[in-house]
Amino acid sequence: MDDGVDRPRWLSKEEDRAWRGYRRMQLLLNRQIARDLARDAGLSEADYDVLSNVSEAPGGSMRLTELARHMRWSKSRLSHHITRMEQRGLVVRGEVASDARGSVISLTDRGLETIRQAAPGHVESVRRHFVDLLTPAQLAAFAEISWTVVDHLLEAEP
């Protein structure tokens, strides 16, 4: 009677509730955060992440590949995105003395000013729609869960 294909282990009610909750939360939460950010600072979440990561880098700049690795973006995605942000005057590509292929990303004054202006509102938005809705225990549990999932995925794709 065994045709060689295991019978699917469908999700239990609780498992399904968790998964659907994740998907739904993601849809609504990302949309809201993105709207807030776009309205208040004219940035996308991706823009914000790039500005944020570069500004926190030692020396205020980072090699493209290093930044991509740090953000877990593909080099392609980052390159495209940097091109667009460069056109808006938020970042610049610099050359690397030690490697002619290299490209160093750094913020323009405008980029720096933009992230400084945007940060408080963005944090407030994250609080309003997420952080402040949860108890410290829930936040801790959530952090634990998400990093567990992340670590697992990074084992396969280091």
Partner DNA sequence: GACGGGATGTTGACATGACAACAACCGTAG
Partner DNA sequence: CTACGGTTGTTGTCATGTCAACATCCCGTC
Q: Which residues bind a second copy (CB under 8 A)?
A: 5, 8-11, 14-15, 17-19, 21-30, 32, 49, 72, 119-120, 123-124, 126-127, 129-131, 133-134, 136, 138-150, 152-154, 156-157
- Binding-site string for DNA from residue 87 to residue 126, where x marks contact by CB under 7 A and - marks none: ------x--x-xxxxxxx----------------------
Query: Rounded to whole angstroms, how far apart are CA atoms 128 and 126?
Result: 6
Among DNA, a second copy, none, the one that 26 touches (CB under a kind-dependent 5 to 8 A) is a second copy
- Give 88's DSSP letter: T
Among a second copy, DNA, none, the one that 136 touches (CB under a kind-dependent 5 to 8 A) is a second copy
| Closest separation in Å from C-beta 41 to DNA | 12
CB burial string 107-134: b at 16+ within 10 A, e below: beeebbebbeebeeebeebeeebeeeee
Which residue, 5 or 97, is less far from DNA as judged by CB? 97
Work out whether strand 91-96 and strand 61-63 pair parallel, antiparallel, or are unpaired. unpaired
Which residue, 77 or 116, is less far from DNA as judged by CB? 77
Query: For residues 1-60, which are near DNA according to CB under 7 A?
Result: 31, 35, 44-47
Amino acid found at 88: R
Which residue, 112 or 126, is less far from a second copy as judged by CB? 126
DSSP H helices, the chain, are: 13-41, 45-56, 64-71, 75-87, 109-129, 136-156
Strand partners, 104: 63, 94
Work out whether strand 99-107 and strand 91-96 pair parallel, antiparallel, or are unpaired. antiparallel
**Which residues are near DNA by CB under 7 A?**
31, 35, 44-47, 63-66, 73-77, 79-84, 93, 96, 98-104
